[in-house]
Amino acid sequence: MNATLPKFERKDIGSATLRFPTTGMPDPLDVAVDPYEATRRAKGVTVKAFQAWPQTPGPFPAVLILHEWWGLTQHIQEVAFRLAQYGYVALAVDQYSRIGSMVTGDAGHAAQLMAKVDPQTVMHDLTAAVEYLNFQDYVKKNRIATLGFGMGGSHALRFGCARRQLRAAVSFYGRVPKEGLSTLHCPVLYHQAESDEGVTDEEVDHLARTLATTKVPCEVHKYPGTVHAFFNDTRPEVYHAEAAAEAWSRTLAFLDQYILADHPGVRPLPDSQRRF
């Protein structure tokens, strides 16, 4: 399966590391009227993120990218660049913002970091990320999807359950939430490794069956000869080039189908529930 050609060259893509508040974006008019507005607002934390976007007149739809347990790595930033070349504002959210924004290559340390993450707090931070994006004039309002890997893949599904306006959720080998799937209304694309110690066939089947019951479009693709994290080309021990390319092509097609639609909500496919 071949991906369509990028809409922009790499030189056309801007990037920035940024922070936004979890307490909501200030209204410029309020700030203009009240110079003390900033001190009156409730104190909150700031969320770190890396953003890549086309440096041409927009607006563009946006994708929240959610990293694996390693943190906001160069690999994830490269995914943001790649998405931006296809006409998206790509915002890679640091899910470790509240615990120091750490990045590691050690699996033991990564497991410790992930154990410190509160999923409900991450949902709050992702809501703030959506608010930040909707505040930007180069972003199409509420034309936003999630794309997550591993830990981030699980959070991508959780956020789909929590935010009804989300256009789509793409999960690469993420754990499936045990509860709350009945509130997941956006189309879902799930990429499953053939051999994955962290994700069982039963939980992926549960995702597919539940969304079939609620008539939410769902695609599950299982890739022969792969293990967990097969998309990560910085880890040669698990990377599978052919599967990664196929999964990327499917991801682009899925985002184009749902995030660019004129109207949000469920759009059943001819076979709305597909299991591969």
For the cut 80, the answer to whether the pLDDT of residue 266 exceeds it is no
Give pLDDT, residue 272.
40
Give, for 253, the enclosing helix (H) or strand (E). helix 241-259
- What is the CA angle 87-256-262, rounded to 5? 100
pTM of the model: 0.87
From 80, 75, 78, 46, select the one nearest 64 (Cα to Cα). 80
Mean pLDDT of 223-240: 97
Domain segments of the chain as ranges:
10-275
According to the model, what pLDDT value does residue 35 have?
52
d(CA 232, CA 110): 15
pLDDT digits (tens, 9 = 90+) for 72-83: 999 999 999 999
Distances from the Cα of 258 to the Cαs of 6, 63, 166, in angstroms? 18, 12, 10
Q: At what angle do helices 151-162 and 119-134 cross, to 10 degrees?
A: 70
- CATH 3.30.230.70 at 10-275, yes or no: no
Specify the 3-state DSSP secondary structure of 219.
Answer: strand
Average pLDDT over residues 181-186: 92
**pLDDT at position 179:** 85
